[in-house]
Structure 1
Amino acid sequence: MRAREEEVPLRGGRMTPGVVRVGDTVRRPVTDRSAFVADLLHHFERRGFAGAPRHLGVDEAGRDTFSHLPGEVPSRFRRWGDGQVAAAGGLLRSFHEATRGSCLAGAHPVVCHHDPGPNSTVFRDGLPVAFIDFDMARPGDPLEDLGYMAWTWCVSSKPQAPSVRAQAAQLRVLADAYGLDVPARGRLLDAVLDRQTGNALRWHGLLGDSTWTMADGPQIRARIDWSRREHAFTADHHDVFTDALLRPFPRSTSSSRRVPTGEEGGRAAAPPDVPFTARRPAGAGPG
């Protein structure tokens, strides 16, 4: 009789409670999003998109079962290099293109991950290679994801962060790597601001949530305050960021891919000062 494999709780990144690794698989509690996530991951497999785990069915305990992706998932935000940001932008573009025009996207341009931050990303050899945690995935517009990625990979109000112009240059790296067209570049900063506003509102809404304890209050308030600081910082430097995004393209990139876009959306993020723990409920996402 085969011995039962050990269950190892996963605490890296921003994990839903109850997520464990069993051998070369990951098990997660079933949610009301499980059916859509399974369909999405099967779609990725058919399309040959390797930047996501495979859905392997449901185990004997009724949990969703996924392939385990080897690599590292950051537990905190940090400064990322241009090569890492460019790889993230290219990965997100491939994610979106794999869903464009599919039945899963419905009337929307693509399916969005809605949390393509570093803490939902698997790194190998220092580069992002895959996304995880698809509970918030829904049909949407590319700018919903790009606004969040621009914020969490490139923009920071922390005193020790790179200069505003350095951050602006990295936003340009992201937009170029994704292949974002000029009209969408002009709306990217508004998408970032929308995500920051929505983030503060969603964390504020959790203050009265019965799934949180009194001890969680200071952590939630810290995330609200951080989101507001980030919004103020982004708004203050909106023109610098946008100028970097819109400056003329070099001739060699004039044939860059164009991406049609539409409306913006969001999901709650946690600040770089606060670790992403397994206590975070899955409900802190877009409505």
Structure 2
Amino acid sequence: MTENVEPRVPSAAGEVPLVGGRVTSGVVRVGDTVRRPVTEASSFVAELLGHLERRGFAGAPRHLGSDGLGRDVFSYVPGWVPARFRRWSDRQVAAAGALLRAFHDATRDCGLVGRHSVICHNDPGPNNAVFSASGGGLVPVGLIDFDTAAPGEPLEDLGYMAWTWCVSSKYAGVSEGAVSGVGRQAAQVRLLADAYGLDAVSRAGLVDALVDRQERNARWWRSRLTGADDAGARRRTVERIDWSERERAFTVAHREVFAAALR
């Protein structure tokens, strides 16, 4: 649900459309800012980003107000945002886990969390991470697209991150064989948990959290079928539902491999 920071050709007005988003359209870059249409989440996002700035969390854009054209204005976070899921190195996975932990820690004891522990990003996949060069390679250094952020518990975000950064069977590599592919995925789930600093009690619930996020993703896309107003949009929505359900079946079939890696 992100807008890729890789731009198209600038428009006549100097606005550069940002492509890659699956939900929000009309997002553009103007100089060192990003403009997004105002949504029901705008007020919460503005409060959250203001809180993160005050806490010194550097891995998120800054909310800069509105432009008078019905759009929120954010600082542009330079770097590379991948348009597709793929395999990630151990170093990249570890950096993602550390980034998520820093984000969660910055929201603890915040007035926005209510009865929950933290604010969850709720979509911390690689497609919502900004990568920058560090030590000879690209690593995630920031998160973008906070439209679905809400109070929650750490495992909600970590389960989604374990799925989209480590498991995603679409990229498991059939030629490797199921066991070797799953073993590599499970090792990275453990690496993610280590980098996040997940305690033993929470580790026991991570696989369940992963499966829950796969189920929730399928339900979310299924709820959007009625709003798919053309055949192409409906086909893409059905594909995302089917993919989420295949991912869930894959994870459940190899649940013990993942659980064993976390013990």
TM-score when normalising by structure 1: 0.81
Match of 2:95 in 1: 87
State the identity %.
62
Q: Secondary structure at the match of 1:163?
A: helix
Establish whether residue 66 from structure 1 lines up as the match of residue 74 from structure 2. Answer: yes
Q: Return the alpha-carbon distance in structure 1 between the equivalents of residues 22 and 158 of structure 2.
A: 19
Number of equivalences: 242
Equivalent in the alignment of 2:200: 182
Cα deviation for residue 217 of structure 1 reads 1.8
- Return closer, same or farther for 1:149/1:100 CA change in 2, 3 Å cut-off: same
Go from structure 1 to structure 2 and tell me whether the alpha carbon gap of 1:14 and 1:224 turns closer, same or farther (over 3 Å shift).
closer
The answer (yes or no) to whether the contact 1:89–1:175 under 8 Å persists in 2 is yes
Q: CA 1:215 to 1:14, structure 2 compared with 1: closer, same or farther past 3 Å? A: closer
Higher helix share: 2
- Give the aligned partner of residue 187 of structure 2: 169
The structural deviation recorded for 1:20 is: 0.3
**1:198 aligns with one of 216, 229, 235:** 216
Distance 2:93 2:13 in 1: 37
Q: Which amino acid counterpart does residue 90 of structure 2 have in structure 1?
A: D
Q: Are 2:9 and 1:9 aligned?
A: no
Which amino acid in structure 1 is aligned with residue 25 of structure 2?
Answer: P
Whole-Å Cα distance in 2 between the matches of residues 22 and 12 of structure 1?
17
User: Is residue 112 from structure 1 mapped to residue 120 from structure 2 by the alignment?
Assistant: yes
Q: Which residue of 1 aligns with 2:7?
A: none
Which amino acid in 2 is paired with 1:38?
Answer: A
Alignment partners' CA distance in 2, 1:12 and 1:47: 30
Choose which of 226, 241, 245 in structure 2 pairs with 1:228. Answer: 245
Q: Which secondary structure state, in structure 1, belongs to the residue aligned with residue 124 of structure 2?
A: coil
Range 54-63 or range 16-25, more displaced = 54-63
Structure 1 residue corresponding to 2:106, chosen from 98, 103, 106: 98
Give the Cα–Cα distance (whole angstroms) in 2 for the partners of residues 5 and 13 of structure 1: 21
Query: Normalized against structure 2, the TM-score is what?
Result: 0.89
Counterpart amino acid of residue 84 in structure 2: R
CA contact (8 A) 1:69 1:122 kept: yes
Distance in 2 separating the partners of 1:13 and 1:154 = 22
- In 2, the alpha carbon distance for the partners of 1:20 and 1:157 equals 33
Quote the residue 2:225 is aligned against: 207
| Structure 2: gaps of 5 or more residues | 1-11, 175-179
**Structure 1: unaligned runs, 5 residues or longer:** 247-287
Secondary structure (helix, strand or coil) at the match of 2:119 reads strand
Q: CA deviation at 1:212?
A: 3.2
Written as runs of structure 1 = structure 2, the 5 A alignment for 1:9-28 is 9-12=17-20, 14=22, 16-28=24-36
Q: Which has the higher contact order (CA 8 A, sep 6+)?
A: 1
Q: Deviations over 1:195-233 (max 9, x none)?
A: 111111221221111x53122122111111111110011
Work out whether 1:143 is the aligned partner of 2:155: yes
Report SS of the residue matched to 2:205. helix
Look up the match of 1:31.
39
